[in-house]
Amino acid sequence: MHVQEWLDTVPAVAVYAVVGLVIGLESLGIPLPGEIILVSAALLSSQHGGIDPLVLGACASAGAVIGDSIGYAIGRKGGRPLLAWLGRKFPKHFSEGHIATAERSFQKWGMWAVFFGRFVALLRIFAGPLAGVLRMPYWKFLIANVLGGIVWAGGTTAVIYYVGIVAESWLKRFSWLGLVLAVVIGVASMLIVKRKAAKAQPVPAGE
Residue 34: what residue type? G
| Res 171: pLDDT | 46
Tens-place pLDDT, residues 135-192: 888 898 999 999 999 999 999 899 888 887 766 555 455 555 665 665 566 566 666 6
| Res 116: pLDDT | 84
Tens-place pLDDT, residues 69-119: 998 998 888 777 777 776 676 666 666 777 777 777 777 777 888 888 788
Q: How many CB atoms lie within 10 A of CB 185?
A: 15
Residue of 136, 21, 124 whose CA lies nearest to 72 = 136
Residues 6+ positions from 23 with CB-CB distance below 8 Å: 34, 37, 38, 60, 63, 64, 67, 153
The answer to whether 111 and 143 have CB atoms below 8 angstroms apart is: yes
The answer to whether 59 and 7 have CB atoms below 8 angstroms apart is: no
| Res 193: pLDDT | 60
| Res 99: pLDDT | 72
DSSP annotation of 31 reads -
Q: At what angle do helices 124-133 and 53-89 cross, to 10 degrees?
A: 60
pLDDT range class, residue 24, cuts 50, 70, 90: very high
Intra-chain end-to-end CA distance of the chain, in Å:
48
Per cent of the chain over pLDDT 90 is 21
| Res 183: pLDDT | 59
**Residue 200: pLDDT over 60:** no
pTM, rounded to two decimals: 0.71
Whole-angstrom distance, CA of residue 190 vs CA of residue 170: 29
